[in-house]
């Protein structure tokens, strides 16, 4: 790989002039420019990001932290982030943390070292203390999951309200025995959605029964299957289930299917996220739609603004209840 020196030599100019041509900045005569461009072509030269970044303290790279790419929830968000990034001449690098603090550290390190200009974290298990530390001197945005009262700007939805709407929908359908399949309540969104669930029950003077609340430690299908199986073993079965993710809800649906129970006649099911597969199940799944693409766009816009040195405010976006067959008689 040729460097700027060799280009300068070939073109018979100084490195500064080559740099000027490269950055289209200050004035260069057309003839000089031509000479340089020819040299660049001849040597097949491409400027080194490393040298440039070291000099400029800028990489135009954005990091996106996700716990796992296997959760389809992130797909559309990343799409949004990517589009906004590209439009602003940034590129994104996806970092799968597997909720592993060591991996996280490496990525934080990249930001500290200007290998990347900023980071959007979507990992609910992220080490908040480390992230806050990072945020003191660097650009950080939280997407979807956030810290209450924290100082890192975030974009999210009102999880409590969304859960409330979902459960209220079930109750208004006449289901007064609503179970909750929640994830681990160490996550803020899980606590918020539980609050929404309880609020709806209280509003209709229904009892909150601990045995109808099941917490899973992961969000995959199998855990949904497990959870439903447990709920079906109870003496008094629920007549409706609200699961805090579509993946869990789909697992639950699968188990109901296996047990020969009819959905929604015998048990109604609501999920959360509106992943694409939720429309492929039988019956199709009623779910809470988060504006994922818009969330991604918003997060990216916020991050880029922050990198520019602007102060950015947290944003709460609207959700929507998508009613489909799993709650439609």
Q: Site residues (CB under 8 A) for a copy of itself? A: 1, 46-51, 53-54, 68-70, 72, 74-75, 78, 82, 86, 91-96, 98, 103, 106, 109-110, 112-115, 137, 220-221, 250-251, 253-254, 257, 276-277, 279-282
Closest approach, Cβ 38 to DNA, in A, equals 14
The whole-angstrom separation of Cα 290 and Cα 161 is 12
Closest approach, Cβ 12 to DNA, in A, equals 7
Closest approach, Cβ 43 to DNA, in A, equals 10
Closest approach, Cβ 199 to a copy of itself, in A, equals 31
The alpha carbon dihedral of 299, 302, 306, 311 has a sign of: negative
The whole-angstrom separation of Cα 238 and Cα 269 is 11
Note the helical H segments in the chain: 4-11, 15-23, 30-43, 49-56, 73-87, 101-112, 128-137, 159-172, 188-203, 221-233, 246-258, 292-307
Q: Which 36-65 residues touch DNA, going by CB under 7 A? A: 47-48, 50-52, 54-56
Q: Is 25 in the site for DNA (CB under 7 A)?
A: yes
What tokens appear for 242 in the block? 């609200």
Q: Which of 10, 17, 182, 239 binds DNA (CB under 7 A)?
A: 17
135: Cα separation from own chain's centroid: 18
The whole-angstrom separation of Cα 94 and Cα 63 is 6
Contacted by 105, from DNA, a copy of itself, none: CB < 5 to 8 Å by type: none
C-beta closer to DNA: residue 32 or 68: 32
């Amino acid at each position: 790989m040729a460097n700027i020196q060799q280009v300068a030599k070939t073109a018979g100019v100084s490195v500064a002039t080559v740099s000027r041509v490269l950055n289209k900045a200050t004035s260069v005569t057309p003839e000089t420019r031509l000479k340089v461009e020819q040299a660049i072509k001849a040597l097949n030269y491409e400027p080194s990001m490393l040298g440039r970044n070291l000099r400029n303290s800028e990489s135009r790279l954005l990091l996106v932290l996700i716990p796992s790419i296997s959760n389809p929830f992130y797909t559309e968000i990343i799409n949004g982030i990517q589009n906004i990034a590209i439009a602003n001449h940034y590129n994104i690098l996806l970092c799968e943390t597997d909720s592993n603090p060591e991996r996280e550290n490496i990525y934080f390190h990249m930001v500290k070292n200007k290998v990347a200009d900023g980071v959007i974290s979507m990992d609910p298990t992220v080490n908040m203390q480390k992230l806050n530390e990072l945020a003191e001197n660097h650009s950080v945005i939280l997407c979807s999951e956030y810290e209450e009262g924290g100082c890192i700007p975030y974009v999210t939805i009102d999880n409590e309200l969304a859960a409330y709407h979902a459960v209220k929908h079930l109750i208004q359908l006449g289901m007064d025995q609503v179970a909750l399949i929640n994830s681990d309540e160490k996550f803020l969104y899980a606590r918020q959605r539980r609050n929404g669930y309880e609020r709806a029950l209280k509003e209709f003077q229904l009892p909150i029964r601990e045995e109808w609340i099941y917490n899973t430690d992961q969000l995959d299908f199998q855990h949904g299957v497990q959870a439903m199986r447990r709920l079906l073993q109870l003496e008094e079965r629920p007549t409706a289930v609200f699961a805090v993710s579509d993946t869990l809800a789909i697992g639950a649906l699968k188990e109901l299917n296996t047990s020969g129970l009819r959905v929604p006649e015998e048990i109604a099911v609501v999920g959360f996220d509106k992943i694409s597969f939720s429309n492929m199940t039988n019956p199709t799944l009623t779910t809470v739609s988060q504006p994922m693409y818009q969330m991604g766009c918003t997060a990216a816009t916020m991050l880029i603004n922050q990198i520019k040195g602007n102060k950015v405010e947290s944003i709460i976006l609207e959700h929507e209840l998508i009613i489909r067959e799993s709650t439609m008689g």
